[in-house]
Amino acid sequence: MKDVQSDIRFKPVAPRKIYQYILEQFVQMVSAKVIKPGDKIPSERELALAFHVSRPSVREALRVLEIIGLIEVQAGGGAYLKEMELGPFIGVVAPLLFSRENFDLELLDFRETLEIRAVELLAQHMTDDDVTMLKTSLDAMEHAVSTNDPEAGATADVAFHRTLLEASKSYILQKVMDLVVSLFEHSVRGGRSIVLERREDARQLYLDHLHIYRALRNREFDKARNLVVSHLQMVRQLYVMH
Amino acid sequence: MKDVQSDIRFKPVAPRKIYQYILEQFVQMVSAKVIKPGDKIPSERELALAFHVSRPSVREALRVLEIIGLIEVQAGGGAYLKEMELGPFIGVVAPLLFSRENFDLELLDFRETLEIRAVELLAQHMTDDDVTMLKTSLDAMEHAVSTNDPEAGATADVAFHRTLLEASKSYILQKVMDLVVSLFEHSVRGGRSIVLERREDARQLYLDHLHIYRALRNREFDKARNLVVSHLQMVRQLYVMH
DNA sequence: TCTGTCAACTGGTATTACAAGTTAACCATG
DNA sequence: CATGGTTAACTTGTAATACCAGTTGACAGA
């Protein structure tokens, strides 16, 4: 308290690089909807000309946008804006996260937290349309189970849970859950095989979903919540024993 | 079901770019702890030589690592590995997220979800050390309030909540909460001023924390949970009325 | 109608060069 | 001896250029 340093604090000065300025302008254009998803982005050479910078600088900015999943670049074609999707980003980071002990189990726990909250929000916002959507996902899963198609079953599984999250009307919850799903897909254990292939398990998963659906349809949200919890406990069990 | 396409599915072939190979190798080295936080990374020219690629390719990979917050690059100095920290990433993405209607309120709701879960986990894992840590954060806040230092108060505020999350022993919960905090710092409303400067409010916030702390110390976790809920309701109120 | 060809794009990569910042050793000055 | 200035050898930042490779669309030919 007796020194100058405690009154006047010097903040480190950090000069920003050109690619950051480009990023800033670009992101601003996107949020101002000057560019919309699906639009083609000017070529790198044009951008360099427009920004009065060199092509490498433009490219460094594009690399970041690519990792964020805000643009899709095809060699020779061009770059297109798309809805932000953090898959590529997760692809880079996943190995770091999974190098932690028990990360996958923590992830399952976190998923439970998200889904429980989603059900709570459903109690406030659920519409008849939401119920219809859930039914559709459920039927797809039933079909997958009866035709014994494990891949389709897994797809229908995530579709059901995704619908649940969408019905919660919470943008953040949806996006975070998307991240969790992306992470599971990058799970280290034997590649992408969170997919449960044993027939009895698939049937049991379907039944769980069915019960959750029925509880929601009857607007018994507390019951639905408990069903979600026990459902995920079962998933966890299947998971730990491979 | 009658066509070849339904049996044999052709997956699109997507050639990976050089910078992605570099990223992959680099991340692998990090998770294998060949490189550790604090270490200096070889210069761009050395890396280019080692990877048998050109310097621009190396730079594109470094830009991604920089945004991920895995390395820190100082012009003329060099690049250093650090603990992954998604601040820079959030800095790029934040404007996009906050361009959504009511994103900030959704964020507060999400924060509530995280903290409630943290308290639930505390019921299982809390140690005496955790209680001590909480007390320390609390005392810092008390000091900030009594000396009427709003900036220190805000710092102590987040420190208290951060300690809460750390005590939950959940790595994911901590990291996600860090993201939420970073996002709040980039909040559009009047710059960085989630900081509540009114003296009475600061006092009330302190009292809330005090009550939460006492409940936790006495291991009354249900009570603590309810206190957290009402505390965040109050924060929400302060927030919506600027 | 289909198929191949070709020219004019596009992004991917490499090379080279220079500007600008950092670091450490050294030297001069008080 | 300590401080500050100078310098040389690094480093990253940016630019310019060239060439390869993939894409696209128009057009000619079967």
Cβ contact A196:A202 at 8 Å? yes
Note whether B63 contacts A64, CB cutoff 8 Å. Answer: yes
Is the per-residue pLDDT at A88 higher than 70? yes
CA distance linking residue A22 with residue A205, whole number of Å: 48
Give me the pLDDT at residue B211, please: 96
Note whether B31 contacts A63, CB cutoff 8 Å. Answer: no
Is the per-residue pLDDT at A136 higher than 90? yes
Note whether A15 contacts B75, CB cutoff 8 Å. Answer: yes
Any chain B CB within 8 A of the CB of A144?
Answer: no
CA distance linking residue B134 with residue A90, whole number of Å: 33
Task: Report the gap between the CA of B118 and the closest CA in chain A (Å).
Answer: 10
Write the CATH number of the domain with boundaries B18-81: 1.10.10.10
Is the per-residue pLDDT at A189 higher than 50? yes
CA distance linking residue B6 with residue A39, whole number of Å: 31
Note whether B27 contacts A117, CB cutoff 8 Å. Answer: no
Give me the pLDDT at residue B80, please: 97
Token pair, residue B220, equals 């009354």
pLDDT one-digit tens code per residue, A2-46: 344 444 567 888 889 999 999 999 999 999 999 999 999 999 999
CA distance linking residue B13 with residue A42, whole number of Å: 25
Strand D atom within 7 Å of A18 CB? yes
pLDDT one-digit tens code per residue, A93-122: 999 999 998 998 999 999 999 999 999 999
Strand D atom within 7 Å of B64 CB? no
Token pair, residue A23, equals 């990023």
Residues of B in contact with A100 (CB under 8 A): 171
pLDDT one-digit tens code per residue, B144-183: 888 888 778 888 888 999 999 999 999 999 999 999 999 9
Residue of A nearest to B74 (CA): A14
Give me the pLDDT at residue B148, please: 83
Residues of A in contact with B27 (CB under 8 A): 92-93, 95-96
> What's the mean pLDDT in A205-233?
95
The rounded percent of chain B whose pLDDT value lies above 70 is 90
Is the per-residue pLDDT at A229 higher than 90? yes
> What's the mean pLDDT in A166-187?
92
Is the per-residue pLDDT at B189 higher than 80? no
CA distance linking residue A165 with residue A177, whole number of Å: 8
Any chain B CB within 8 A of the CB of A134?
Answer: no
Instruction: Give me the numbers of helices (H) and strands (E) for chain A, helices first please.
Output: 11, 3
CA of B40 to C1' of C22 (A): 14
CA distance linking residue B236 with residue A128, whole number of Å: 30
Element (H, E) at B123: helix B103-125
Write the CATH number of the domain with boundaries A93-240: 1.20.120.530
Residue of A117, A147, A182 to mutate, testing the B interface (most B Cβ within 10 Å of its Cβ): A117
Give me the pLDDT at residue B198, please: 67
CA of B42 to C1' of D11 (A): 10
Write the CATH number of the domain with boundaries B97-240: 1.20.120.530
Residue of B36, B59, B64 to mutate, testing the A interface (most A Cβ within 10 Å of its Cβ): B64
Every domain of chain A and the residues it spans? 18-81, 93-240
Note whether B106 contacts A172, CB cutoff 8 Å. Answer: yes
Find all residues with CB under 8 Å of B202, minimum gap 6, and list them: B144, B145, B148, B150, B153, B196
CA distance linking residue B98 with residue A141, whole number of Å: 36
Question: How many beta carbons lie within 10 A of that of residue A63, not counting itself?
Answer: 24
Give me the pLDDT at residue A111, please: 95
